[in-house]
C-alpha cells in the first residue's frame, strides 16, 4: 500500500483514536513549533528593551490578518477537499486546491502594497507610541515585504493536512520552526539588526517551508494536484472556498482588531504594560495552538465521514476529541493559574510591571481555558460540515461579538483590570453560544444516522 492509499485508509477505516493521533499529533507539533518560535522571538527581543518588545506586540495584529488570509484559502479549500475526497471527486479537489493557491498569491500582492502605503497610520492606530513607532516600522516593513510567502505557505499547508498528510506538514513546520529559532539570535545580536533581524529570520524560515511544500507537490506524492491548469474561476468553486474561508478570515481579522484594541487600551499604562500583555498573549497562543493543531487533524476525518455518510464514525470521533481536548485544557488551566508569575519572570529581566500585569493576564485567561478545547471541537464540526452561517457566528464571537463590547466597557469600569477581564468574559459567552448552536446540529446528525441505518437494513446490509 503506497502513501496515498494509506492516507485514504486512515480517513475511512483506521480506529478513531489511532486516526486522530496519526492526523492530529503531527498537526499539533507543527502548530506548536509555529507558536513556539513566536514565544522565542519575544524572549530574544525582550533583551533589547521593553519598547522593542512592545513594538513586536503592536505589529502582531497585522501578522494575525496575514495568517487569516492564508487560512481563508487554506481552511476554506481544505474543508471542500476533505468532502470531495470522501465523495470520490478528485477533479473537484484539484480545482479547489489550485484555485485557492492562485487566489492566495493575488491576495498577498494586494495586502503588501496596501500595507506599505498606510504603514504609519496602521501602527499608530494599533497603539504605537513615539518611543515604540520606530521599532514597529522596522519589524512591520520586513514582515509585510514577505507577506505573500506567509499566505502561500499557510494555504498549501492546510491543503496538505486536508488530504490526511499531517506528518509531512509536521516535518516541514518543525524544520521551519527550528530554523527560525537558530536564526533569531544570529540576526538580532550577531548582525546587530535588532527587531528587523527577528523579522528577517521569520521570513527566511517561511520561504524555506514554502519551497519544501512546492517540491512535495511537484514530486507527485499527493492525492491532490496543484497546477495552474487546474485553476478555475467558476463561481461555485470560489464561493465554496470563501463560504468557509471568510469565516476564518473574519476570526483572524477580529483577533487582530481585538489585539489592537487591547494594545490601545493598555498603552496609557506605559511600554512595559504593552510588552507584558503582548508576551502573555503569545504564551496563551502557544497553549492554544495545541488545540488548533489537533482540530486540524480532526477536521479531515469529520469532513470525510460526513461526505461518506459514515455518521457513526463521525459521532465516535467527536466524542473522543471532546474527551482529549478537555483533559489537555484542564492541565493548562492549572499551570496558568498556579505558575503564571514564574512564567513571566523569564521575559521580565527584572521589570516587576511585566511580571505583575502579564501574570494576571495568564491567570484570568487560564481560568476559562478549560472551555477552549470544547469550543474548538464543536466549532470545527460546523466548518468541516460546510455549515457556513453557524461557523461565521462562532468565529466572530470570541474576538468580535463578545470581545469588542467587553474591551470597550470593562476598562472604563475596572481600569487595567478591565482590559485583563475582557477576553475571559468573551470566552465564557462564546462557549455558551456554541453549545446552544450544536444542540440542533446534533439532533440533525442523529436523524441522518438513523435514516442511513434504516436504509442499510432494508437493503440487507
Residues 6+ apart with CB under 8 A from 88: none
- Separation CA 416–CA 327 (nearest Å): 31
Mean pLDDT, to the nearest integer, of 215-221? 84
Closest Cα to residue 427, out of 367, 380, 340?
Answer: 367
- Residue 231 class from Cβ within 10 Å (0-12 exposed, 13-18 middle, 19+ buried)? middle
Give the residue with greater pLDDT, 202 vs 12: 202
Q: Rounded distance, CA 230 to CA 237, Å?
A: 12
Higher-pLDDT residue of 250 and 409 is 409
Most confident of 185-189, 270-274, 292-296: 185-189
Residue 440 binned pLDDT confidence (cut-offs 50, 70, 90): confident
Longest dimension (CA), the chain: 75
Do 148 and 108 meet the contact criterion of CB atoms below 8 Å apart? Answer: yes
**R_g (Cα) of the chain, nearest Å:** 22
Buried b (16+ CB within 10 A) or exposed e, 23-49: bbbbbbbbbbbbbbbbbbbbbbbbebb
pLDDT value of residue 114: 95
Q: Higher confidence at residue 35 or residue 443?
A: 443
Categorize the per-residue pLDDT at 202 as very low, low, confident or very high, splitting at 50, 70 and 90: very high
- Environment class of 249 (CB within 10 Å of its CB; exposed 0-12, middle 13-18, buried 19+): buried
Mean pLDDT of all residues in 27-38: 74
Of 95-109, 111-125, 218-232, 408-422, the poorest mean pLDDT is in 218-232
Instruction: Write the DSSP symbol of residue 131.
Output: T
Q: What is the pLDDT of residue 455?
A: 64
Q: Mean pLDDT of all residues in the chain? A: 88
Distance CA 296, CA 371 (A): 18
Distance CA(372)–CA(366), nearest Å, equals 10
Contact 75, 296 (CB under 8 A): no
Confidence at residue 83, expressed as pLDDT on a 0 to 100 scale: 80
Structural domain that includes position 317: 3-458
| Angle ∠(29,3,323) on CA atoms, nearest 5 | 40
pLDDT in the model for residue 134: 95
Instruction: Give 382-422 pLDDT, tens digit per residue.
Output: 878 877 678 778 878 888 889 999 999 999 999 999 999 99
pLDDT band (50, 70, 90) for residue 2: low
Tell me the pTM.
Answer: 0.78
DSSP string for residues in 283-335: HHHHHHHHHHHHHHHHHHHHHHHHHTT-HHHHHHHHHHHHHHHHHHHHHHHHH
- Looking at the 3D structure of the chain, how many domains does it have? 1
Task: Render pLDDT for 58-86 as a digit per residue (tens, 0 to 9).
Answer: 998 898 889 889 989 998 898 788 788 87
Judge whether residue 161 has pLDDT over 90.
no
Q: Does pLDDT of 460 surpass 60?
A: no
298's CB contacts (< 8 A; 6+ apart) are: 20, 23, 24, 317, 321, 377, 380, 384
Amino acid at each position: 500500500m503506497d502513501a496515498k492509499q494509506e492516507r485514504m485508509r486512515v480517513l475511512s477505516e483506521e480506529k478513531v483514536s489511532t486516526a486522530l493521533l496519526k492526523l492530529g499529533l503531527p498537526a499539533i507539533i507543527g502548530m506548536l513549533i509555529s507558536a513556539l518560535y513566536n514565544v522565542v522571538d519575544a524572549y530574544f527581543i525582550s533583551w533589547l528593551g521593553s519598547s522593542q518588545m512592545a513594538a513586536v506586540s503592536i505589529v502582531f495584529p497585522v501578522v494575525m490578518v496575514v495568517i487569516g488570509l492564508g487560512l481563508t484559502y487554506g481552511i476554506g479549500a481544505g474543508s471542500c477537499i476533505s468532502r470531495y475526497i470522501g465523495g470520490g471527486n478528485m477533479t473537484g479537489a484539484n480545482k479547489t486546491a489550485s484555485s485557492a493557491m492562485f487566489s492566495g498569491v493575488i491576495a498577498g500582492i494586494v495586502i503588501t502594497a496596501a500595507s506599505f502605503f498606510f504603514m504609519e497610520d496602521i501602527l499608530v492606530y494599533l497603539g504605537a507610541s513615539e518611543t515604540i513607532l520606530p521599532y514597529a516600522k522596522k519589524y512591520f516593513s520586513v514582515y509585510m515585504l514577505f507577506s505573500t510567502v506567509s499566505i502561500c505557505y499557510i494555504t498549501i499547508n492546510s491543503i496538505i493536512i486536508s488530504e490526511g498528510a499531517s506528518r509531512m506538514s509536521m516535518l516541514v513546520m518543525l524544520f521551519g520552526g527550528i530554523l527560525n529559532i537558530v536564526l533569531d539570535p544570529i540576526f538580532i545580536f550577531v548582525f546587530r539588526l535588532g527587531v528587523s533581524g527577528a523579522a528577517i529570520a521569520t521570513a527566511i524560515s517561511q520561504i524555506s517551508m514554502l519551497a519544501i511544500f512546492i517540491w512535495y507537490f511537484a514530486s507527485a506524492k499527493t492525492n491532490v494536484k496543484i497546477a495552474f491548469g487546474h485553476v478555475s474561476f467558476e463561481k461555485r468553486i470560489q464561493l465554496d472556498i470563501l463560504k468557509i474561508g471568510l469565516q476564518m478570515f473574519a476570526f483572524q481579522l477580529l483577533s487582530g482588531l481585538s489585539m489592537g484594541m487591547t494594545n490601545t487600551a493598555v498603552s496609557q499604562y506605559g511600554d512595559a504594560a504593552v510588552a507584558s500583555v503582548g508576551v502573555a498573549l503569545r504564551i496563551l497562543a502557544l497553549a492554544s495552538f495545541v488545540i488548533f493543531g489537533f482540530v486540524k487533524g480532526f477536521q479531515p476525518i469529520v469532513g470525510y465521514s460526513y461526505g461518506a455518510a459514515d455518521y457513526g464514525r463521525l459521532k465516535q470521533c467527536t466524542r473522543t476529541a471532546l474527551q482529549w481536548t478537555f483533559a489537555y485544557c484542564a492541565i493548562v488551566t492549572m499551570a496558568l493559574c498556579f505558575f503564571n508569575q514564574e512564567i513571566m519572570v523569564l521575559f521580565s529581566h527584572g521589570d516587576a510591571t511585566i511580571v505583575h500585569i502579564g501574570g494576571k493576564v495568564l491567570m484570568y485567561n487560564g481560568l476559562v481555558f478549560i472551555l477552549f478545547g470544547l469550543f474548538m471541537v464543536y466549532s470545527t464540526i460546523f466548518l468541516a460540515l460546510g455549515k457556513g452561517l453557524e461557523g461565521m457566528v462562532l468565529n466572530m464571537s470570541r474576538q468580535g461579538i463578545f470581545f469588542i463590547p467587553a474591551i470597550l466597557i470593562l476598562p472604563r469600569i475596572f481600569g487595567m483590570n478591565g482590559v485583563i477581564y475582557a477576553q475571559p468574559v468573551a470566552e465564557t459567552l462564546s462557549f455558551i453560544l456554541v453549545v446552544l448552536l450544536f444542540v440542533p446540529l446534533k439532533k440533525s446528525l442523529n436523524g441522518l444516522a438513523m435514516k442511513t441505518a434504516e436504509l442499510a437494513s432494508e437493503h440487507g446490509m
